[in-house]
Structure 1
């Protein structure tokens, strides 16, 4: 277990970036064979907008990476955090850390992004995509990403977790982000069965429906247990899903400048 975690701690930057593009590429190819939605759109033009947003997010991630190192150096020299309050096997501590990260840095912050008006304004960029596919997983306004990363650091501090735990979580998170956004169709019974434990492609697509109440449901990223526990889980017919955002359907979802300005657009009737 120690060597397994050491691998993620010593993983070079090029390999982390390569993992992102490897997972993107795998699901991009699978979308060609196992489509859920058969809409016609220019996939490369659509991807260009989302990948530009990914590039901006990766630049911000460099800054957050330095802040993260500072947090882990402090935690390493202290006994702060819940993991220091009990003794357990490493795999148990790792599992608990991933669960807390998924709860705080994914489900909880995602819930806030929908419920707090100024946060929702930033998050609308993600929801404005009218053709959800694997690249939609990269589609986040830079300020949206900063909020998410801040909550991830909060989860790290609460648990007092070592850096390999966090880095392993990041690798898993990338996999689930692209898996759940990919325009792929699993056998319906398999998708439903998996959705009792993890977030599945069908499950997450209801979250990208253009209207309430589905828009405010299925907030999870990896584990579906949070949506089930807090009563935000929905599952229906995927044929009833329409992508995009009703309040911003008049905006060009493939115009990068419009998308960067979207949170500050006074013509959008955001929530009060």
Structure 2
């Protein structure tokens, strides 16, 4: 465990970039060989849109990274946060509890809130407009949503009292497993079901991308599946019934055109301003 802590305390930027690029490449190759759905689409054109949003996410996170770093240093120096208050000495226990709480606050809660607040949903909607979910869909987030998720991640660091190694470990797992559970993989049903008792599996997350309620408002988890099961947001739907997208934006001119996607949160300025006031 000491070696893992030492590695993530000083993880090179090149290694973090490799996790993003390597994960997409790995699951891209696997899903091409063993697809769950045989989409009739231009995979490269679809990927170009999602990779654009991946790059904007990287830019947002890189630009604001100093805030995460300073927050982690502050909680460590001031013994602030759950891990410090509980006086947890075991690094393994710190990792388990820390990752669970980071996932709860930085992923599950952030995701849940974006579905429940109209103004935040406008930004998150771009992620749900994708009608061809594959591994490149993992980071299909409007730049505005990237900022929102960043704020929740910062909050998670402060509440948990996460040292810098724990944050980088969480971020690495979050990116890789998001690429995994979005991938268009045809896993054996029993294997996928078994995985879903511990972490978010591909089939579990794909229910969340079904185009209508209540399924859109279910299975919010990113790393661990326990939060959906604990809070009653876990739903099951046979893969044969899945239709990707969101019922309000099924027109390809809206969901498969970059300029249209960027404008969605601001389509009606009057409505947008009125929602801000709510």
Shared fold, TM over 0.5: yes
What is the CA-CA distance between 1:254 and the residue it aligns to? 2.3
What is the CA-CA distance between 1:10 and the residue it aligns to? 1.2
Query: Could you tell me the TM-score, scaled by structure 2's length?
Result: 0.94
- 1:203 maps to 2:204: yes
User: Cα 1:70–1:240, aligned 2, differ >3 Å: closer, same or farther?
Assistant: same
What is the CA-CA distance between 1:73 and the residue it aligns to? 2.5
Kept in 1: contact 2:67–2:154 (CA 8 A):
no
Kept in 1: contact 2:122–2:264 (CA 8 A):
yes
How many residues in Structure 1 have an aligned counterpart in Structure 2? 271
CA distance in structure 2 between the aligned counterparts of 1:165 and 1:14, rounded to whole angstroms: 18
CA distance in structure 2 between the aligned counterparts of 1:79 and 1:224, rounded to whole angstroms: 29
Partner in structure 2 of residue 66 of structure 1: 66
Counterpart secondary structure, 2:39? coil
CA distance in structure 2 between the aligned counterparts of 1:69 and 1:177, rounded to whole angstroms: 23
What is the CA-CA distance between 1:160 and the residue it aligns to? 1.2
Partner in structure 2 of residue 50 of structure 1: 50
Partner in structure 2 of residue 263 of structure 1: 265
Alignment of 1:106-185 (within 5 A): 106-185=107-186
CA distance in structure 2 between the aligned counterparts of 1:25 and 1:141, rounded to whole angstroms: 22
Counterpart secondary structure, 2:254? coil
Gaps of 5+ in 1: none
1:145-194 deviations in Å (ceiling 9; x for gaps): 11111111111111212100010011111111000000001100111111
Partner in structure 1 of residue 224 of structure 2: 223
1:194-252 deviations in Å (ceiling 9; x for gaps): 11121100010010011111110000001111111111101121010101111011243
Which of 214-223 and 188-197 deviates more?
188-197
Counterpart secondary structure, 2:33? coil
Kept in 1: contact 2:102–2:160 (CA 8 A):
no
What is the CA-CA distance between 1:255 and the residue it aligns to? 1.3
Gaps of 5+ in 2: none
1:69-116 deviations in Å (ceiling 9; x for gaps): 211222232121121222331110111110001101111110011010
Query: Could you tell me the TM-score, scaled by structure 1's length?
Result: 0.96
CA distance in structure 2 between the aligned counterparts of 1:10 and 1:89, rounded to whole angstroms: 20
CA distance in structure 2 between the aligned counterparts of 1:22 and 1:209, rounded to whole angstroms: 27
Partner in structure 2 of residue 249 of structure 1: 250
Which of 101-110 and 1-10 deviates more?
1-10
Which of 106-115 and 79-88 deviates more?
79-88
- 1:79 maps to 2:79: yes
Partner in structure 2 of residue 15 of structure 1: 15
Partner in structure 1 of residue 6 of structure 2: 6
1:50-85 deviations in Å (ceiling 9; x for gaps): 001111111111122111121122223212112122
